[in-house]
Every structure is written in C-alpha cells, then in structure tokens.
Amino acid sequence: MNTKSNQPPQDDAEAPLVFSDLPALYEAFATKVFHYHYSRVQNLHAAEDLTSQTFLSAWENWQRLRDPAKAVGWLFTIARNKAADYFRENAQILHAELDDELTFPTDRPEDVNNTAAKDGLLDLREQLRQLPERDSELLRLRLVGELPFREIARVMNQPLSRIKKRYYRLLERLQARQES
C-alpha cells in the first residue's frame, strides 16, 4: 500500500494509490470525503451522515471493486452519488462555496481588518456561486477532495487532458475576474 502526503499531487505521473482493503482506504480518505461533502451541503451533520453513507456503501460493495488502483475514484464516485441523492431527497439546489478553502485567519488582527481582502474574498465567493455545477464540482474534487487529475477524470468520466485543460482555464478565468 502506498501512502501519500495530504497535499494534492503536482503531476499525475505518480503511481496511483492501491488499496487492498477498505479500512486502509477509510484511514487515508475519510477526512477528504467529509470535506468534500461539507463543501457541497454546508451542514456539519449532513456532511457527517453523507460520509458515513459513503463508506457504508463502499463496505457493502467492496467485493465489486475489480481494480484496487481505482479505489479512490470509485470512492469519490460513491460520494458524488450520495450527495446527489441528498439533494434529490431534500429538493434543494445549492451551489458549493468551498468555505473550508476560503476562510480568513482570525489569529492575526491585521488580516481581519483588511477590508480589501474581505471584499476580494466576497467577490470570489460570488464568482464561485455563479459557476456551472460541472466547474464547481471540478474545483471541489481537486481542492477539497485533493484528488489527482487522473482520479478526477475517472470520477467525472472524462478524458484526463480535458479535465486538466478545464481546470487550468477555470483558474485563469477566476484570476482574471479577481484582477479586474
């Protein structure tokens, strides 16, 4: 079993993570799955429930996983499906805000009083709310789920080159909007 740091990979030439059992997959990705769900539902208890449901479903279907190298993408596909079920059941259409990625540090008073930074953050949050669902999902999987591009391509069922191109173009668009 490979172990990785908590940082998103810088390139996808790295060997994929291979998990031979669910407890190892849980240990490595429970927090990331929780953060992914929280970024979608913005509710602590719902995110905890969805994380539990994700791993329960993974447990029930572990024997169906044919390729252990695809376990991470498989797990996040289950997570996406559980989140979609949640929104269908609650008849809600919410746009994710990535609050975990966009919070002010409160331990330094000079940062909290910086109104330009606050205005910039609010503007970025508004831009993220206006993104199409497929773009916000790409950001969630990469920034919150910390998945490598190869796994994102599997989860979103799209070619790796398209995922990378969309991601970097999306970042360029967001940066250009922030600078204007």
Over the stretch 121-162, which tens digit does the pLDDT of each residue have? 556 677 777 889 899 899 889 988 889 999 999 999 999 999
Residue 3 in domain? no
Residue 168 in domain? yes
Task: Give the global pTM.
Answer: 0.65
Residue 40 in domain? yes
Return the minimum-mean-pLDDT range out of 54-58, 96-100, 113-117, 158-162.
Answer: 96-100
Cα-based angle 82, 87, 91 (whole degrees, multiple of 5): 150
Residue 105 in domain? no
Residue 103 in domain? no
Return the minimum-mean-pLDDT range out of 38-47, 64-73, 87-96, 160-169.
Answer: 87-96
Residue 152 in domain? yes
Structural domain total, the chain: 1
Residue 45 in domain? yes
Query: In terms of residue numbers, what domain contains 120?
Result: 22-98+111-179
Over the stretch 14-47, which tens digit does the pLDDT of each residue have? 556 667 788 989 999 999 999 999 998 889 999 9
Residue 14 in domain? no
